[in-house]
Amino acid sequence: MRAGSASLLLLLALAAPGCAPLITPLGVALTAGATGGTMAMQERGLGGGIEDNSIALSINDAWLKDDPAIFRKVSTSIHDGMVVLTGSVTYRETAKRAETIAAGVEGVRSVTNHIRVDREPGLGTAASDRWITTKLRAELTFASDVNAVNYAFDTIAGTVFISGVARDQAELDRVVSRVKRTGGVRDVVTAVRLRTEPLPPKHAARRSVAPSALPPASTTPASTTPGPTSHAPTSYAAAAPRAVGAAVTAEPLPPLR
């Protein structure tokens, strides 16, 4: 397992040298750029991009070793050490566990948890989500009024999650407006820092949890809907750390084929 994990993480490192790393379920790295030159064009610079990639790989390695279901179902987007979690899991405890592990990785400044607690989306929904995300990346890459390499997108059941850094509020508003006009989009949620906002300190991970991510605990699949659209910069409120060794309800693995 360890050898396979190391090989997979090395492959991810080679595949994700561009924009803010969006490491998706099954460990596939999706980026808006593909070279070190692209990272140099971002607000964080080349050094920041390399550090964020390293953090992403460390988080996914920790998830894979702790609970493969988290690794399969949760995506990470990281910019300047600020981690945003998206995805869909069946149990509230799994979402909390993913956040706790991510917050304990060296170099993490903050963790924003936008993981949905819901039944696993069907094939049609998943295909529609991939189409929306791909379309947004393509459109914004060629938008002259948006620095697209600074943003990452993930779509879950028609809700688009935007993360990264905006040059100013006007640019962020333009990005949100474009996303809202995209066919199939039901809601927009952002965890975007404005360039002028100070960064929280490293090695003191903080958390901001989306209300939709934490419904009452249940041992049966729960149906949730995202909160109202918001595109104000996310507030990162401090919270006491949780023990990584706490007991959780594990996600069932799919049957072998």
Alpha helices, H only, the chain: 2-15, 36-41, 45-66, 68-73, 92-103, 123-141, 169-180
Among 21-35, 114-128, 163-177, name the one with the lowest average pLDDT.
21-35
Across 34-51, average pLDDT = 56
Residue-level pLDDT at 199: 87
DSSP letter, residue 157: T
Q: How many CB atoms lie within 10 A of CB 214?
A: 16
Across 124-133, average pLDDT = 94
Across 78-103, average pLDDT = 94
Top-confidence residue, 252 or 191? 191
Top-confidence residue, 141 or 12? 141
Residue-level pLDDT at 122: 85
pTM exceeds 0.85:
no
What does the pLDDT look like over 164-189, one tens digit per residue?
A: 999 999 999 999 999 999 999 999 99
For tokens 């809700």, the residue is 159
Burial class (CB in 10 A: 0-12, 13-18, 19+), 6: exposed
Residue 119, pLDDT above cutoff 70: yes
Residue-level pLDDT at 46: 62
Percent of the chain whose pLDDT exceeds 70: 60
Residue 39, pLDDT above cutoff 70: no
Among 44-58, 99-113, 126-140, 201-215, name the one with the lowest average pLDDT.
201-215
For tokens 């850094």, the residue is 165
Among 59-63, 96-100, 161-165, 210-214, name the one with the lowest average pLDDT.
210-214
Top-confidence residue, 198 or 237? 198
- 77 forms bridges with which residues in the sheet? 22, 84
